Structure 1
Amino acid sequence: MLLLSATFILTLARAMTLPYLVVYCAERFGLGVADVGLALGLALMASSLLSLYGGFLVDRFSSYQILLVAGSLFALAFGVAFHTAMLGVFFLAIVVVNLAYAVIDIAVKACIGSLVVAQRRGAVFSVKYTLTNIGFAAGPFLGVMLAKVSPGVPFAAAGLVGAVFVLAYALLGEKLSTPGTSVPAEQGFLKVLGYLFKDYRLVCFTLGGLLSVIVFGQFSAYLSQYLLVTSSPERTYQLINYLVTTNACVVIGLQYLVGSRINQGNLFRMLCLGMLFFLVGLVGFSVAEQVPVWVIAMIVFTVGEIIIIPTEYLFIDYIAPAHLRGIYYGAQNLSNLGAALGPVLCGLALSLYQPQVMFYVLCLCVVLATGFYYMGCKAKEGAHDSL
């Protein structure tokens, strides 16, 4: 329970600042919106790449040490972001925040794989994802209230929340700690990385995950792009509000109910079902004009999301050697690069073709992702040397 609480608390803290990063950077540092978007995208990509090494460290040290150090960096980086007047230091702090959050997320997933019996992991992963979404839903509202005091206060509050978590975990977390693995020290990061690249199943699932995240990772961004092209800004704001709220309600209401039914025996069937829901939802978006049609399409689309997330977690848990769970989840975390690619790809489609073509491009991503998932699921175990 403490580990799942960490997911909620730190997600809540991070979500308090996310909606205001662009505005805060524009006001404090005088950057244009395009420059801020590019810088934040690069920060996200850098933290995703670095989290691979973070996963390696998760395997080498106890979960207690990892969570304390990463939590401390999380809190400290938010404090630096609040106090600094230097643009470079601010974005370095944002990279550290995202990296620390990613490492904590990897450590929590690795702990679930170690502490929870296989039959219950799907349900626990679903609870984790539900808590993450509750944090992302509640965080911005808290941020709004805090930003009324001063634009930088959400950053200070996030750092304080992180510090409180570190203190609580320092007192209570050692009992739940999982030890580091017994991988020989001479088997360094590069050797382990080479081992990962030889794992055909992991490579296929990482590519499939990247394509999937293009579809659902930043859906509000590409739907906003589409609506701005096809309607007015006022209608865009109204519809996006409805759709984001619908997504959050469906995830919170159905994630555990659906996720608890996913197990290692039905992984590929559930992946295919999730991808089918994505396809139907995207087609629904492409023909939607009235608000009820948009909402129904979002409900269908979100069901696909709540199937895919825990299924991917379970598959990585299934193929990862016990002593390499951390870096396997770190490799899976690379699929978050798709969140940065999605708006770029959709922007190109909108600028070059008819607006509806954007959804056909996303449907192609779904089909390709399903193909990679199929190759990963059907590949034989032990296709490379052990480590």
Structure 2
Amino acid sequence: MLRALKSYPAAVRLLLFTTFTLTMARAITLPYLVVYLSTHLALSIGQTGLLVGGAMFLASLLGPYGGHLVDTLRSHTLIVASTLVFALAFIAIVASPSAVPFFCFLVVAYLAQTVVDIAAKAGFCALLPEAQRGEVFAIKYTFNNIAWAAGPMLGVLLIEANDHLPFLVSAAIGLALSLTYYRLGQRDLRSHNEKPPAAGFAQVALGMLRDRRLVCFTLGGVLSAVVFGQFTAYLSQYLVVTLQDPAQVARLAGYLVTTNAVTVIALQYLIGRRIARQQLMPWLMTGMAMFIAGLLGFSVAASAPAWCLAMLVFTLGEIIVIPAEFMFIDLIAPEHLRGVYYGAQNLSNLGGGLGPILVGLALGHLLPAAVFYLLIGSVILAALFYWLGTRRQVD
């Protein structure tokens, strides 16, 4: 990985650093967000979940428009502005006197990070040849997982000092990134080498709806994200119902999260760099098979080692599918619409919110183990849409 990083242009390394650090800034607030809302704004657990989940849902819906901005504005301007907005949003979150402004500023912060993420993906495609794009996507995903693993631990340490400190540190990181990218970022970088599209966002969106491959692949992404997007949430729901021992649930959930994080960090780059454009469908189907095998393992696991083994197999599916999704969008996106196509791919995050909802409903009406077969059905449907989306590939 270090050899690959050294071979990249400085602009690519800066984009990787920016997305990693901004993800870390968001992850710092993760462990305290629910507690902060309940203690400072006196929200119930249900209201807190609705606020946090609603903010992520709305930011994901706005992702395609963020991608349209990437296609129409210089990346340097957009990244500097978005990281600055991210910082200001977290300052405003601390100052929010009620749930409504807190929600609005949280949406703004999440959307600003989404825009930077889309701009980075489009920048990779503009700066690197096709042969190196799968590798850089794998590196980016590895860095993101490191950020999500380390950020919450840093957040816990900050909470001990002051309950507003995680938000203020996230704001400081956003401000530092804005200044850094203003000075060091490549000012003439665009997501493509052509003139910005003359069509407005509504026209672009209608054109995207006519792209059968994009529609199929977005639906496949949503259905697969139901399974891997928030797996810790629905596995915890299942364990609470089946084990009925909070201490045992917390311990086993910790083992599973650690297994997932270690597997991703150790193997993401090694596997992701081998995914080639010419073999996307076999790779995607392999990832789907790993998801199914992992879910079957969860349904019969009776000990901590068995759960961890099933999680390892399940995580291999995640490691394969996510870079393959990036590469497929790179394959089908018109040169002048890469940003908005990556924004459409971001809609798959909606599936992550559906997973815990579906599992929660199923646990109230079905045998507990049956929820995994429901999730396997989602994987099979996702595989079908991926297959439909790859039936007519472009060179």
Same fold judged by TM-score > 0.5?
Answer: yes
- Secondary structure at the counterpart of residue 151 of structure 1: coil
Per-residue Cα deviation, 1:119-173 (whole angstroms, up to 9, x for no partner): 1111100000000000000000100000011222100110001111111111100
Q: Please give the alpha-carbon distance, in whole angstroms, between the structure 1 residues aligned to 2:74 and 2:276.
A: 27
User: How far has the Cα of 1:379 moved from its partner?
Assistant: 2.9
- Secondary structure at the counterpart of residue 348 of structure 2: helix
Aligned to 1:385: none
Q: Sequence identity, in percent?
A: 50
- State whether structure 2 residue 113 is matched by structure 1 residue 113: no
Aligned to 1:177: 189
Partners of 2:16 and 2:140 within 8 A in 1: yes
- State whether structure 2 residue 108 is matched by structure 1 residue 96: yes
Aligned 1:1-387 pairs, distance under 5 A: 1-174=13-186, 177-178=189-190, 181-185=194-198, 187-231=199-243, 232-379=245-392
Aligned to 2:3: none
Counterpart residue type for residue 11 of structure 1:
T
Per-residue Cα deviation, 1:221-241 (whole angstroms, up to 9, x for no partner): 000000000011111100110
Counterpart residue type for residue 239 of structure 1:
L
Partners of 2:71 and 2:197 within 8 A in 1: no
Partners of 2:60 and 2:111 within 8 A in 1: yes
Aligned residues: 381
Partners of 1:59 and 1:326 within 8 A in 2: yes
Instruction: Sort the Cα spacing of 1:191 and 1:83 in 2 relative to 1 into closer, same or farther, 3 A.
Output: same
Partners of 1:74 and 1:96 within 8 A in 2: yes
| Poorly superposed stretches of 4+, deviation over 4 Å | none
Q: Please give the alpha-carbon distance, in whole angstroms, between the structure 2 residues aligned to 1:273 and 1:259.
A: 13
Partners of 2:74 and 2:187 within 8 A in 1: no
Instruction: Sort the Cα spacing of 1:149 and 1:261 in 2 relative to 1 into closer, same or farther, 3 A.
Output: same
User: How far has the Cα of 1:91 moved from its partner?
Assistant: 1.0
Partners of 1:200 and 1:379 within 8 A in 2: no
Q: Please give the alpha-carbon distance, in whole angstroms, between the structure 1 residues aligned to 2:124 and 2:375.
A: 32
- Secondary structure at the counterpart of residue 352 of structure 1: coil
Q: Please give the alpha-carbon distance, in whole angstroms, between the structure 2 residues aligned to 1:344 and 1:51.
A: 22
Partners of 1:246 and 1:295 within 8 A in 2: yes
Higher alpha-carbon deviation: 218-227 or 110-119: 110-119
Q: Please give the alpha-carbon distance, in whole angstroms, between the structure 2 residues aligned to 1:361 and 1:23.
A: 32
Counterpart residue type for residue 63 of structure 2:
S
Q: Please give the alpha-carbon distance, in whole angstroms, between the structure 1 residues aligned to 2:197 and 2:239.
A: 54
Counterpart residue type for residue 63 of structure 1:
S
Counterpart residue type for residue 349 of structure 1:
A
Partners of 2:126 and 2:191 within 8 A in 1: no
Partners of 1:82 and 1:153 within 8 A in 2: no
User: How far has the Cα of 1:86 moved from its partner?
Assistant: 2.5
Q: Please give the alpha-carbon distance, in whole angstroms, between the structure 1 residues aligned to 2:156 and 2:52.
A: 20
Q: Please give the alpha-carbon distance, in whole angstroms, between the structure 1 residues aligned to 2:191 and 2:124.
A: 13
Counterpart residue type for residue 125 of structure 1:
F
Q: Please give the alpha-carbon distance, in whole angstroms, between the structure 2 residues aligned to 1:29 and 1:10.
A: 26
The RMSD of aligned alpha carbons is 1.2
- Secondary structure at the counterpart of residue 62 of structure 2: helix
Unaligned runs of 5+ in 2: 1-12
Per-residue Cα deviation, 1:183-235 (whole angstroms, up to 9, x for no partner): 443x1111100100000000000000000100000000000000000011111
Q: Please give the alpha-carbon distance, in whole angstroms, between the structure 2 residues aligned to 1:176 and 1:372.
A: 37
Per-residue Cα deviation, 1:354-381 (whole angstroms, up to 9, x for no partner): 0001100100000000000000000365
Instruction: Sort the Cα spacing of 1:212 and 1:89 in 2 relative to 1 into closer, same or farther, 3 A.
Output: same
Q: Please give the alpha-carbon distance, in whole angstroms, between the structure 2 residues aligned to 1:280 and 1:347.
A: 22
Instruction: Sort the Cα spacing of 1:176 and 1:257 in 2 relative to 1 into closer, same or farther, 3 A.
Output: farther
Per-residue Cα deviation, 1:37-86 (whole angstroms, up to 9, x for no partner): 01111111111111111100100011101101111111110111122223
Q: Please give the alpha-carbon distance, in whole angstroms, between the structure 2 residues aligned to 1:153 and 1:85.
A: 17
Unaligned runs of 5+ in 1: 383-387
- Secondary structure at the counterpart of residue 277 of structure 2: coil
